[in-house]
Amino acid sequence: MAWHQYAFGFAAGLLISLVTAPVGVSGAVFLLPMQLSVLAVPSPAVTPTNLMFNIVAAPGALLRYRRHGSLGGPLTRQLIAGTLPGVVVGALIRVFAVPGAREFRLIVAAVLLPLGVWLCWRTVRPRHNGQRRQPSPKLVMTLGLVAGAVGGISGIGGGSILGPVLVGLGLSVTVVAPAALASTFLTSIVGAATYTVLSFTTSGDIAPEWLLGLACGLGGLLGGYLGAHLQPRLPEVVLRRVLGGLAISLALLYLVQAFR
């Protein structure tokens, strides 16, 4: 790739993470279509390249969340317990069952569109009793397993799925965001390692585009740090609507690209 493509990846990673980090999304969900359409990263190599972005970008926001004292806790541990095995399963499905770009775009759109609509609806029609339910650990780990599998297929890490679901169940964005991002970071490490191993045992474009993933990730590292700094200054209802809007817009984007 030429130098201007790496520069584009850096700028895209910075801007995307600046918007998505406050709601616990790494930004890989929006970087993915750019890699496919603008940078022409081959499939399925685009998935581990996106996971590389998560690995490099996520620590910026996580460092800021740690300084806020919001990183860690039982929710983070429960999500990680589900997403880590899930991403391995997702990587295997991606390589051997749905290697084409169109198929996994449809999968991601089918997951994110109803989640985004549900979350936006909940901000318009909140619970009348004003109480938040705490999902059971079993439910959280199950959601993590499913999100990890979808993240392993698509390269989004799972945070963009876990965020809307957990917030839709009643948890605060300020609680969900650092937990979802931490699980995305660790899941991406395991997912990228799985794809790397598969690249030695399977033919095709499976290994990540290392330099592009690094360039995008460095932009995301800076953008994520700044975005996490903004989170305490944004009202909860704004964060919820941003999260729901991101999920809906991404799903529509993937649907348009899938049916071109």
Give per-residue pLDDT as tens, 28-38.
777 877 787 78
| pLDDT on residue 138 | 92
The CA distance from 77 to 139, in Å, is: 13
Instruction: Report yes or no: 48 and 207 within 8 Å, Cβ to Cβ.
Output: yes
Number of domains in the chain: 1
- Sorting pLDDT into bands at 50, 70 and 90, what band is 99? low
Residue the block writes with tokens 């999920």: 247
**For 60-64, 131-135, 241-245, which range has the lowest pLDDT when averaged over its residues?**
131-135
**For 48-62, 76-90, 132-146, 147-161, which range has the lowest pLDDT when averaged over its residues?**
147-161
Q: What domain range includes position 19?
A: 3-258
| pLDDT on residue 125 | 64
| Mean pLDDT, rounded, for 220-224 | 90
Cβ atoms < 10 Å from Cβ of 171 = 19
Segment holding 24, helix H or strand E: none
Backbone angles phi, psi at 85, to 5 degrees: -70, -30
Backbone angles phi, psi at 206, to 5 degrees: -115, -35
Q: Which one of 25-34, 172-181, 199-208 scores highest in mean pLDDT?
A: 172-181
**For 6-15, 30-39, 61-70, which range has the lowest pLDDT when averaged over its residues?**
30-39
- Sorting pLDDT into bands at 50, 70 and 90, what band is 140? very high
Higher pLDDT, 115 or 116: 116
